[in-house]
Amino acid sequence: MRKMNFLWTLAFMMLAYVGYAQPTSNTEVGKCYAKCLIPEQWETVTEQIQTRAASQRVSVVPAKWETVTEQVLAKEAYKTISASSAQFETVTEQVLAKEAGKDLSIVPASFEKVTEQVLVKPAYTILKVIPAQFETVTEQVLDKEGYTVLKKVPAKWETVTEQVLAVEASKRYKVIPAQFETVTEQVLAKAAGTKIERRPAGYETTTEQMLIKPAAQKWVKQYRPENCVSDNPKDCNVWCLVEVPAVYKTITKKTLKACGEGWTAVGEDCIRTVDVPAKYETRTYKKVAKPATVEVVDIPAKYETRSYQKLVSPATTTETKIPAKYVTRSFQKLVKPATTETIEVPAKYETRTYTKLKADASTIVKEIPAKYTTRKYKKLVKDAQTTENAVAAKYVTRSFQKLASPATTTTQEVPAEFVTITKRQMVKPGGFTEWREVVCKSDMTNDLINRVQQALKDRGYDIGAAGVDGVFGRDTKNALVKFQKDNKLPVGSLDYETLKALGIK
């Protein structure tokens, strides 16, 4: 316990020595000085960081080709034999198509309509109380008189077929065309050359730590010993100097990759020259293997079958008897008259219409003349002949690509890429490093404290519930420290720089 008290006493004495060490220069007699906590001073620094180095971009200018056109044999010259066909003249003659005959036209029987009144119900008397009794009487009544119908029996014909000359026999020349064989050969379609292949080199991403804020030191209030003999709460406080680590920012950069074997790096691209072999195409043309010849072919005469109608039996008529038609009619016949008062009921008649024969059917004989058709056939006038024609050789136009200028490359400058980094840089370190002139205890009057409290209150700082009371209590001290920190003033004492900031003389 004694050892612990001794350590606390030693620490207090060292702190008192540091806190109350006298300033060495720039001091005046009659003024008070204190070592105040000076805040760190920082400035914002902006700098450009290169993230991608300047490079060159290679553009490939492709090779130029020109089209060369030449005539190439497609088919050799040869001779053809043209056969002129035989000449015919058209002969027209009348040929019997159908013999003459007779046609019977049937004149049907004619009828007239006869209308008459037929008794349907005879007159009778009915009794008013006891009705008369009737029975149904049925009888046959002529509806249509019988007549005769003549039925036409058409004439009979038979088909006679015979051979008729259509085209006379002749000769023709059959042309056997020339025979060709196909010849195939290789011809140059595109001359050999070179081409430049290009591909982007590509980038790989690398990261780098950039210092934004360097490491620093600051004073941190740790504790106040319990056995401090001073009534001032600022006395006996233990301050520790702690390390503030540096602040870094990760910067990403892009660097070009290697092109690899066979490729050359040009700026941002990798290029190489590739040989392009010549291209050939297969050309096929026809060559005469066997010339054309002529063969004489006999053409036999042509006959066509001619058919015509020949009368076998003339038209006749048959007579058919149509019997008369009757209809059954029913009417009421009085059986027993009424026995009481009678009422005369007149007879009823209905109009009946039936067909009555007016004239019998008859026939009319009509002469039908024979029919002739016009027949045409070919008659030989001039035999077929042959002529020989020379057919010139055929050429086709062949085009192929010829290298006019090889492929080249053009280089384009690509500027470097930068990123703007903003960082804070310490200009002046803080801490208990400087002596400042402070208000002496003898000058700490109630009037001065009142003006300090009023200035803090006017600036929105809380000086406590007591308000402006001329007492430099805990709430006033806290408000003053907060004001000093907000305005980056020395912290810990009522110095003249703080009074100036508060507008107090």
pLDDT of 404 strictly over 60:
yes
pLDDT of 5 strictly over 50:
no
E strand segments, 224-370? 238-244, 247-256, 264-266, 269-276, 279-290, 293-299, 302-313, 316-322, 325-336, 342-345, 348-359, 362-368
pLDDT of 78 strictly over 80:
no
Lowest-pLDDT range, 96-100, 129-133, 237-241, 261-265? 237-241
Q: For residues 53 and 68, what is the distance between their CA atoms, to the nearest angstrom?
A: 47
b/e per residue, 353-385, with b = 16+ CB within 10 A?
Answer: ebeebeeebeeeeeeeeeeeeebebbebeeebe
**Percent of the chain clearing pLDDT 70 (strictly above):** 82
Is 194 contained in some domain?
A: no
Q: For residues 238 and 19, what is the distance between their CA atoms, to the nearest angstrom?
A: 10
What's the distance, Cα to Cα, between the start and end of the chain in Å?
51
Contacts of 400 (CB under 8 A, 6+ apart): 67, 68, 187, 188, 189, 190, 191, 281
Is 306 contained in some domain?
A: yes
Phi and psi torsions of 454, nearest 5°: -65, -40
Average pLDDT for 156-167 = 80
Say what the pLDDT of residue 239 is.
57
Is 91 contained in some domain?
A: yes
Q: Tokens standing for 232?
A: 């001032």
CB 368 within 8 A of CB 103: yes
pLDDT of 223 strictly over 70:
no
Express each pLDDT in 350-402 by its tens digit. Answer: 887 877 777 777 767 677 787 887 877 677 777 767 677 787 888 878 787 87
Is 309 contained in some domain?
A: yes
pLDDT of 348 strictly over 90:
no
User: pLDDT class for 500, splitting at 50, 70, 90?
Assistant: very high
Domain count, the chain: 1
Neighbours of 404 (CB within 10 A): 12
Is 421 contained in some domain?
A: no
Is 363 contained in some domain?
A: yes
b/e per residue, 243-266, with b = 16+ CB within 10 A?
Answer: eeeeeeeeeebeebeebeeebebb
Say what the pLDDT of residue 501 is.
93
Lowest-pLDDT range, 70-74, 221-225, 289-293, 408-412? 221-225
b/e per residue, 108-132, with b = 16+ CB within 10 A?
Answer: ebeeeeeeeeeeebeebebeeeeeb
CB 85 within 8 A of CB 385: no
Mean pLDDT of the chain: 76
Please list the alpha-helical segments (H only) found in 413-495.
446-458, 474-486
CB 217 within 8 A of CB 37: no
pLDDT of 456 strictly over 90:
yes
Say what the pLDDT of residue 142 is.
76
Say what the pLDDT of residue 26 is.
62
Q: Which domain holds residue 375?
A: 85-178+291-384
Secondary structure in 3-state letters for 191-214: CCEEEEEEEECCEEEEEEEEEEEC
Lowest-pLDDT range, 102-106, 213-217, 396-400? 102-106
pLDDT of 259 strictly over 50:
yes
Say what the pLDDT of residue 238 is.
54
Say what the pLDDT of residue 220 is.
65
- Which of 246, 233, 237 lies closest to 219, judged by CA? 237
Give residue 377's Cα distance to chain centre: 68
Q: Tokens standing for 45?
A: 């620094």
Q: For residues 238 and 310, what is the distance between their CA atoms, to the nearest angstrom?
A: 155
Residues across the chain? 505
How much is the pTM?
Answer: 0.32
Radius of gyration of the chain (CA): 71
pLDDT of 462 strictly over 90:
yes
pLDDT of 457 strictly over 90:
yes
Is 337 contained in some domain?
A: yes
Is 454 contained in some domain?
A: no
Q: For residues 172 and 299, what is the distance between their CA atoms, to the nearest angstrom?
A: 7
pLDDT of 20 strictly over 70:
no
